[in-house]
Structure 1
């Protein structure tokens, strides 16, 4: 479980990115984090894994208060947090397999990491994950030869290679077409269900957030202004989060006959489709 208690972040410029954020994410729950640009979504994700230092509050992963850790203890704690990035963050000159195995770098010695020597168990798990995300046949291909959707699949496999206790996802579909975006969200949701992983997904696409999240948290000006089920995200709530706008078209698009709870996109669907 992840628990945030009164987390705040004020930058040196005086800008208040986060103000008294408190919520819990139980095992297996996928949280869609939405809000306008500058609402604090990325700051929140980065405060959780301490890429950004929170100004106040506590962040607990299980019984560990991440805000109190430094040095080696912080590095060890970060092994428990898988991160999926908007821009993939792959080493492009390395192969798909090498990128996935880099998820184990926090668990191997310095000389093993330098020589990229991993245990047979690590390699076996990496192959299984590549099979899962539909890239088993691409294991020896360089990362710079992949499409955007394929790169994001590698990023998902790398994060899962860590065997994390928490998944943080920052705009995973921002550069992808609608079909690939749905496939990527389906993969993430399926992995969380299979592993009982709590996850927070920073996402701009409200429809995708509703379709693939168990819960929606809306931020505005660094504060939580909505925390509820996807079907509670009414026009009034969207206005509270984003400001005045005619949301009729968005609501109409969601009623095109497809389920908004992800039931039409169950993990049993062929995940390799349309790689």
Structure 2
């Protein structure tokens, strides 16, 4: 589904955010992206959907090279890539329903969207998604009246309004308390499984990542230094990703996550597709 080869990103300041990144993502596969601040995690996500233009290398999505696309072709490709932002990126003065329907702007004629005239099927789907993410009855609330967890749920539902094939998720739990963080991660996995979506989740919480996500990619200084199963994220792997530190306390917290059922659930879409294609 997603093929990245020798991806480079150098900013105008001269900083090299990405240095020869290569990875593949299968349909329905869910991956956790971890690493220290400045490792290039957000740059990688933004290069995939061309919010940032790569300096070199290839990003191929559904067999199509994203790098040369522009204008209408790029907008069409982005329809199939849903983005969920750390700071939610909601329009604060708009209602929950209006924020959700903005996820259909790529499919809606300009004047229809200008006057907020959306298709009845889109409105019906928005109600269904609101119920699915636990926000039924909140469609007329303004976004600025919501809690952090509720805002994140709106962001998730808005991304699903695009009917994407791939989700790019940037720090979905950064501003949330531990209980809400776990609820959001569980919801993301359930929705990916239900809709057979692949996902790349940029996440700082290593314990949460290894509990919920079957495959972990660790970045350091713009390079992949770990790509493997969550169970393999031990003290040695953490040192490669983050540097020297006493990781014993953290790995002890990660041990109960090794038996987590969430990982098996996250693997389900890929396994199902493999069986179907065999």
Same fold judged by TM-score > 0.5? yes
Q: Which runs of 5+ in 1 are unaligned?
A: 267-275
Deviation at 1:13, TM superposition (A): 1.6
Q: Secondary structure at the match of 1:180?
A: helix
CA distance in 2, matches of 1:263, 1:243: 26
Classify the secondary structure of the residue corresponding to 1:74.
helix
Q: 2:261, 2:214 → 1: CA distance? A: 8
- Asked if 1:87 corresponds to 2:87, the answer is yes
Shift in CA distance, 44/57, structure 1 to aligned 2, threshold 3 Å:
same
Aligned-pair distance for 1:187?
1.1
* TM-aligned CA deviation for residue 256 of structure 1: 4.8
Deviation at 1:111, TM superposition (A): 0.3
Corresponding position: 1:244 with 2:244: yes
1:206 match: 206
Kindly report which structure 2 residues correspond to 1:50-199, keeping only aligned pairs within 5 A, or say none: 50-199=50-199
Report the Cα offset of residue 259 of structure 1.
3.7
1:252: Cα distance to partner?
1.5
Say which SS state the counterpart of residue 225 (structure 1) adopts: strand
Compute the RMSD of aligned alpha carbons.
1.5
Contact 2:210 2:216 in 1 (8 A): yes
Indicate the larger mover: 68-77 or 255-264: 255-264
| 2:92 partner SS | coil
> Structure 1 residue 261: deviation in Å?
4.7
Counterpart Cα distance in 2 of 1:257 and 1:220: 24
The separation in 2 between residues aligned to 1:80 and 1:120, in whole angstroms, is: 21
Change (3 A) 1:33 1:257: closer
Q: How many residues align?
A: 266
- Tell which deviates more after alignment, 6-15 or 82-91: 6-15
Aligned counterparts of 1:145 and 1:113: Cα–Cα separation in 2: 24
TM-score, normalized by length of structure 2? 0.92
Residue 254 (structure 1) shift: 2.5
Cα drift, residue 71 of structure 1: 1.0
CA–CA separation in structure 2 for the residues paired with 1:255 and 1:67: 41
TM (norm. structure 1) is 0.93
Contact in 2 for aligned 1:92/1:142 (Cα 8 Å): yes
